[in-house]
Amino acid sequence: MSAVRLCDKEIPPIGMGTWGMGGGFWTPDYSSDDLYVDALRYALSRGIRLFDTAEMYGGGHTEEIVGRALREHEDEVLIVSKVWPNHLRRDDLIRSALASRARLGVRSIDLYLIHWPSREVPIQESIRAMEDLIDMGVIRCMGVSNFDVKLLQEAMTSARKYEVVADEVEYNVYHKDPERELIPFARRNNVAIIAYSPLARGAVSRDPTLRAIASKHNATPVQVALAYLTRTSMPIPKASRKEHIDEIVGALNLRLGDEDVRLISSL
Ligand code: NAP
Q: How do the pLDDT tens digits run along the chain, 267 residues long?
A: 789 999 999 999 999 999 999 999 999 999 999 999 999 999 999 999 999 999 999 999 999 999 999 999 999 999 999 999 999 999 999 999 999 999 999 999 999 999 999 999 999 999 999 999 999 999 999 999 999 999 999 999 999 999 999 999 999 999 999 999 999 999 999 999 999 999 999 999 999 999 999 999 999 999 999 999 999 999 999 999 999 999 999 999 999 999 999 999 999
In this prediction, residue 2 carries a pLDDT of 85
pTM: 0.98
Q: Which helix (H) or strand (E) element contains residue 216?
A: helix 208-217
Helix axis angle, 221-230 to 242-250, nearest 10°: 50
Per residue in 47-90, pLDDT (tens digit) is 999 999 999 999 999 999 999 999 999 999 999 999 999 999 99
CA distance 180 to 140: 30
Q: Which atom of ligand 1 is nearest to the CA of 19?
A: 32
Instruction: Establish whether residue 239 lines the binding site of ligand 1, counting it when its CB lies within 6 angstroms of any ligand atom.
Output: yes
- Give me the phi and psi of 154, to 5 degrees please: -65, -40
Taking the centre of ligand 1 as the mean of its atom positions, its distance from the CA of residue 147, in whole angstroms, is 20
In this prediction, residue 115 carries a pLDDT of 98
Q: Which atom of ligand 1 is nearest to the CA of 39?
A: 48
CA-closest residue to ligand 1 atom 29 = 17
Instruction: Establish whether residue 249 lines the binding site of ligand 1, counting it when its CB lies within 6 angstroms of any ligand atom.
Output: no
CA distance 112 to 138: 9
Instruction: Establish whether residue 18 lines the binding site of ligand 1, counting it when its CB lies within 6 angstroms of any ligand atom.
Output: yes
Report the Cα 186 to chain-centroid distance in Å.
15
In this prediction, residue 1 carries a pLDDT of 75
CA distance 155 to 175: 24
CA-closest residue to ligand 1 atom 21 = 202
- Give me the phi and psi of 145, to 5 degrees please: -145, 140
Instruction: Establish whether residue 167 lines the binding site of ligand 1, counting it when its CB lies within 6 angstroms of any ligand atom.
Output: no
Taking the centre of ligand 1 as the mean of its atom positions, its distance from the CA of residue 124, in whole angstroms, is 31
Taking the centre of ligand 1 as the mean of its atom positions, its distance from the CA of residue 202, in whole angstroms, is 7
**CA–CA distances in Å: residue 31 to residues 65, 88, 96:** 12, 31, 25
Cα atoms in the Cβ-side hemisphere of radius 13 Å centred on 137:
2
Burial of 52-81, coded b for 16+ CB within 10 Å and e otherwise, reads: bbbbbbbbbbbbbbbbbbbeeebeebbbbb
191, 166 Cβ separation under 8 angstroms: yes
User: In terms of DSSP bridges, do strands 27-28 and 23-24 run parallel, antiparallel, or are they unpaired?
Assistant: antiparallel
